[in-house]
Structure 1
Amino acid sequence: MNESRYPRLAALATSLFAQPISKNYLGLSIILIVLGGFVVYTDNNFPDVAKHLVMVAIMLGIARLFNPQPMRWAWVGVVGIMSLLLALDVAILFV
């Protein structure tokens, strides 16, 4: 990534993947995972698109918890494939 062209995106990637994990981040991640699971897996009136978006956002947040960088990028790749499948699922719902 060209850091001079996209400084904010480069700073975000550095904050997500380059810095060590703190206890506060770990606690916040656990809280968000529980809240995301509540939104996705309970009987509620949220539309399926919103549930899928919450699921993908939570799974991308989990990527930060992996310590080795190749594992993080592998997890992001898996989530990318799953989000593509979820997008196809949502597209089938609208057909």
Structure 2
Amino acid sequence: MSFTGARGNASQVFARTVICRDLDVATRVARTDGLDCITLEGDQVSKKGGMTGGFYDYRRSKLKFMNIIRQNTKSINMKEDELEKVRFKLQDIL
């Protein structure tokens, strides 16, 4: 067997694996066509019937965004304080 280039390497590795849009399609393809499948979310369905999940921890994501919100709120408050000081200076000048 002779393969050349990246295409040959990719087909050697992924020859019996199909990328599917969701878990339902992956399950159907694995059962009917006898191919291993992986979904866009990372769930894997084996032609032998096994499934492994592409688990995503949403709590971690929420904590990350809460931290970003907290930092942005702090920055906004600092800018509002600075703006208030500038307004006072402007009133003194006028």
The TM-score, its normalising length taken from structure 2, stands at: 0.30
More strand by share: 2
The TM-score, its normalising length taken from structure 1, stands at: 0.30
More helix by share: 1
Q: Which has the higher contact order (CA 8 A, sep 6+)?
A: 1
